[in-house]
Structures are given as C-alpha cells and as structure tokens.
Amino acid sequence: MKIDVVNIQGSKTGKTIELPDSIFGVEPNEHAMYLAVKQYLASQRQGTHKSKERGEIAGSTKKIKKQKGTGTARFGSIKNPLFRGGGRMFGPRPRNYNIKLNKKVKTLARNSALSTKAANDGLVVLEDFTFDAPKTKEFVNILKNLNLDSKKALFVTGDHDKTLYLSSRNVPKASLTRAQDLNTYDVLNAGTLILSESSVEKIKEIFG
C-alpha cells in the first residue's frame, strides 16, 4: 500500500512511500496481539513482593496459654497469624512473571497491530526532520500541525535522536521510540503512529 508523506507543517509533500503488505497489510490476529500485550505487561512486573510468614516473624515461640479448658480456640505462639503483628498466611512470595512467547507469534502480533493502525487511518508518515537544539515548544507545534496535540501519539524514528527525545519527553501524550524497539503494546496503546521516512526503511529492513 502507498501512503502520502507529510511535512512538519502538516501539509503533503507530494511524495508517497510504499508500505509492504507483509507488515502493514496482514489479516489482524487478535489472539496473537492479546498474548503479546500480556507478555509485555507481565515483564514490567518486578515480582519482588514478599511478606513475612509466622516462621520469619521476630517473637517468642512460647505457648501463650494452655491447650484446653479456656473455652476459646487453641493458640501456639504470639506469632500466630490471627494476632496483630503475627505472620501472614499465604502471603506473596518473590516470583518471575515472564511469559514465553514464540518469535513467530510476536512477529504476527506486531504486524497485526501495524496493519490495524494502517487500516483505521491511525498511521502518518512524516518527512525526516531534526532540531538544532531541544525545544519542547517546537515539538508541540508539530503535533498541533498534525492535529494530534490532544491524542496519544507515538513517534518512530530510524535511529536514536537525542535532540528529538529531549524535546518530546515532557509532552504528556507523546512518546518516542526507535524502529527496532517497536512492539505490539506501544503500537496499540498509541492513538496515532507517526513514522519518519527513515523509520519506514528501517522497519522494512528489520521486520521484512
């Protein structure tokens, strides 16, 4: 499929760029996208949660009252989970939340997400540009020119651009990533995907 290239003023440049159907024109697989998003969110969890159980609480292990004849439940030590300050029953323990996903499934999920954006007019190809110095105001003006200042926008660059990154990091609804770091979650989480010309070539090279 072909798509028009626009400049930072939001007007068409007269150029078009070819988006390969193998990446931007596949039949979206919702289950693959679900699995990829699930894996991404799971990998964000540290899994370092931990609470102390009765064997780890500091305190006496002396039996606090006799076993029978009190008319109430039997108790062992003061570290009993039923007492305030006692150990916790079945509390969280450190664990690894990572989910294994086949490479082909991840590729299908990413291509499905990109194809969904392309089919729903959620894709913009922007002419390559750069800033002489970090300027958040200039970056916001570009979003306004593209009518994306009130929407979630994901800028995709061909390579790391420090000046552009510094210009965009304080804009609440905008984010920046490299083409090689593109993943299913970021694509689906963005309202509009803004691809630079160089990033399209990088996507063809890496994902094609």
pLDDT tens string 20-30: 999 999 999 99
Number of residues in the chain: 208
Per-position DSSP letters for 37-53, written without gaps between them = HHHHHHHT---------
* Tokens, residue 196: 């630079």
Domain boundaries, the chain: 2-46+97-207, 51-91
On the question of pLDDT at 208 being above 80, the answer is no
As a whole number, mean pLDDT of residues 121-134 equals 90
What residues contact 203, with CB distance under 8 A and at least 6 apart? 23, 156, 179, 182, 195
Which residues in 159-193 are b (16+ Cβ under 10 Å) and which e? Answer: eebeebbbbbeebeebbbbebeebbbbbbbebebb
Its sign, for the CA torsion 100, 102, 107, 108, is negative
Complete edge-to-edge strand list for the sheet that includes strand 123-126: 12-18, 2-6, 123-126, 192-196, 153-157, 174-178
As a whole number, mean pLDDT of residues 173-187 equals 93
pLDDT tens-digit profile of 28-60? 999 999 999 999 999 999 999 999 999 999 989
- Binning pLDDT at 50, 70 and 90, where does residue 161 land? confident
Cβ 126 vs Cβ 195: under 8 Å: yes
Burial class (CB in 10 A: 0-12, 13-18, 19+), 208: exposed
pTM of the predicted protein model: 0.82
| pLDDT for the residue 98 | 94
Its sign, for the CA torsion 162, 165, 167, 170, is negative
pLDDT over 90 percentage in the chain: 76
Q: Report the topology of domain 2-46+97-207.
A: Ribosomal Protein L4; Chain: A; (3.40.1370)
